[in-house]
């Protein structure tokens, strides 16, 4: 679906840019390939004037009456006057919003970097999409909450609910996340109930919450895949609930499911890989981000990742992104690893935890593994490297879809973390299923 919308957008843009057919030259005028000026001659500009003619350098007061009156493409000078996206920006905002409504969230994120106008339109409430949380207790009572805040990042969004009437943590039976698109009526400020699309449903009987961290007021509990529950310390009352969502197919999940059944992703058949089956993984690309609710702690884009078949261990293929022994690959983090939180009038920050957002593309640049989830930094039991003096930490993310392992050093004098090792592990069965291999 996302591919179809992207194709529509590209076709629309190509239609706007399509070069008109040139009229046949009049009698006495040089045709193609005839009468070309020599190397030292001046090239005539549009309208018969010289290239340096000031009339051509001034922008016209009115838009051209037809596409045929626009200058020809192909020269650097003309490209400077009429950039590609300027043609789109001339359209009314209503038409642009209609076009953007056909894009998925990842495409919206990309187009948001083109210009200030596109950034504003692409982030206009994610096109009237919001997320609602339904919390059920052990007695069958339900409470639906509207999001308190959404924090948008390059490839993910964190949604928070607070200030509502939550049941105590031990009495929660299930949590449901729905995407909702509310239609605005003609009367200002009036909305009608929108379609609810189930994204996630957590059965607390099957969930084992993992401790993330704590401060003097709350403790954070991680519920897989991406939920964070803040519980008041000394009590079992819930202060807030947050969830981290990756942008991949998020619009489809938020709009195209039913109130009781999640959106079913289409099965894309993998392209034929004619490379040597003994070679293993090759040409993979990783976009990796560490962030919290307020800031981006680290971001990296890594290309041409590979793994030979002989490197398979314990049913996993290892993609080494940052090598511990290669000092030139080590990355500094822009700030502390922490998770700011807020609940009504109270706020704080929990150290040693944040969000990992990972997008792994296969050799054909198609999403192979996408995840956005809380992660915790733990003290390493032994020194990880002798190249740095400081406290050593480990960060690990584990799931059935893959694993991520990071090694970090805290430099006390510089007051910053250094990422000295990063590796991504892909289950062999996932690769075999995706590419019909037999590794």
Ordered per-residue pLDDT tens for the chain, 439 residues? 444 444 544 554 455 455 445 444 444 444 444 444 444 444 444 444 444 444 334 444 444 433 334 444 444 444 444 455 566 667 776 677 667 766 655 566 666 666 667 666 665 547 578 899 999 999 999 999 999 999 999 899 999 999 878 999 999 999 999 999 876 555 555 556 678 999 999 999 888 899 999 999 999 999 999 999 999 998 889 999 999 999 998 888 998 899 999 998 877 666 655 555 555 678 899 999 999 998 999 999 999 998 887 677 888 989 999 999 999 999 999 888 999 999 988 999 999 999 999 999 988 888 999 999 999 999 998 888 888 888 999 999 999 999 999 999 999 888 899 999 999 999 988 888 777 767 6
Question: Domain-by-domain residue ranges, the chain?
Answer: 1-9+73-120, 128-182+194-255, 281-435
What is the per-residue pLDDT for 270? 61
Whether pTM > 0.85 for this model: the answer is no
Specify the CATH number of the domain 281-435. Answer: 2.60.40
What is the per-residue pLDDT for 57? 43
DSSP states along 121-158: HHTSHHHHEEEEEEEEETTS-EEEEE-SEEEE-SSEEE
Q: Give the tens place of pLDDT for each residue, 125-136.
A: 475 788 999 999
Q: Alpha carbon of 240 to those of 165, 176, 246, 338, 355: distances in Å?
A: 10, 15, 20, 17, 17
**Separation of alpha carbons 288 and 300, rounded Å:** 5
Long-range contact set of residues 298-302: C-beta below 8 Å, sequence gap at least 24? 298/331, 298/333, 298/334, 298/419, 299/154, 300/331
What is the per-residue pLDDT for 181? 80
- Contact between 182 and 167 under an 8 Å Cβ cutoff? The reply is no
- Contact between 405 and 314 under an 8 Å Cβ cutoff? The reply is no
Give which of 226, 239, 236 is closest to 164, Cα–Cα: 239
- Rg (Cα) of the chain, in Å, rounded? 27
What is the per-residue pLDDT for 234? 86
Residue pointed to by tokens 């009781």:
260
């Amino acid at each position: 679906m996302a591919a179809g919308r992207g194709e529509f957008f590209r076709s629309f843009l190509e239609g706007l840019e399509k070069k008109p057919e040139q009229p046949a030259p009049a009698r006495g005028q040089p045709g193609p390939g005839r009468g070309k000026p020599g190397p030292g001659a001046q090239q005539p500009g549009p309208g018969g004037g010289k290239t340096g003619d000031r009339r051509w350098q001034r922008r016209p007061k009115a838009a051209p009456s037809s596409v045929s009156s626009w200058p020809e493409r192909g020269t650097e000078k003309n490209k400077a006057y009429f950039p590609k996206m300027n043609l789109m920006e001339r359209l009314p905002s209503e038409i642009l919003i209609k076009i953007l409504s056909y894009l998925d969230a990842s495409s919206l994120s990309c187009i948001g970097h083109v210009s200030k106008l596109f950034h504003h339109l692409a982030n206009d409430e994610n096109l009237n999409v919001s997320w609602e949380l339904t919390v059920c207790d052990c007695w069958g009572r339900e409470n639906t909450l509207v999001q308190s805040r959404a924090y948008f990042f390059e490839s993910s969004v964190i949604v928070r609910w607070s200030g509502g009437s939550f049941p105590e943590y031990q009495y929660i039976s299930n949590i449901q996340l729905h995407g909702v698109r509310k239609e605005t009526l003609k009367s200002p400020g009036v909305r009608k109930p929108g379609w609810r699309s189930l994204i996630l449903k957590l059965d607390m009987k099957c969930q084992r919450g993992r401790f993330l961290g704590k401060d003097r007021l709350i403790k954070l509990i991680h519920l897989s895949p991406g939920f964070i529950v803040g519980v008041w310390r000394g009590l079992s009352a819930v202060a807030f609930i947050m969830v981290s969502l990756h942008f991949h197919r998020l619009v489809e999940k938020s709009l195209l499911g039913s109130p009781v059944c999640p959106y079913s992703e289409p099965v894309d058949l993998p392209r034929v890989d004619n490379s040597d089956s003994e070679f293993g993984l090759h040409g993979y690309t990783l976009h990796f981000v560490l962030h919290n609710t307020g800031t981006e702690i680290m971001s990296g884009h890594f290309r041409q990742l590979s793994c030979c078949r002989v490197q398979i261990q314990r049913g996993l293929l290892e993609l080494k992104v940052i090598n511990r022994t290669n000092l030139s690959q080590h990355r500094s983090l822009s700030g502390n690893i922490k998770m700011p939180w807020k609940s009504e009038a109270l706020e704080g920050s929990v150290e040693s935890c944040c969000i990992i957002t990972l997008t792994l593309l296969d050799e054909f640049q198609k999403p192979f593994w996408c995840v956005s989830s809380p992660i915790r930094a733990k003290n390493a039991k032994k020194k990880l490297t002798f190249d740095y003096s400081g406290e050593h930490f480990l960060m690990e993310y584990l799931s059935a879809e893959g694993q991520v392992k990071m090694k970090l050093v805290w430099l006390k004098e510089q007051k910053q973390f250094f990422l000295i090792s990063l590796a991504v592990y892909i289950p062999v069965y996932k690769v075999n299923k995706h590419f019909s291999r037999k590794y």
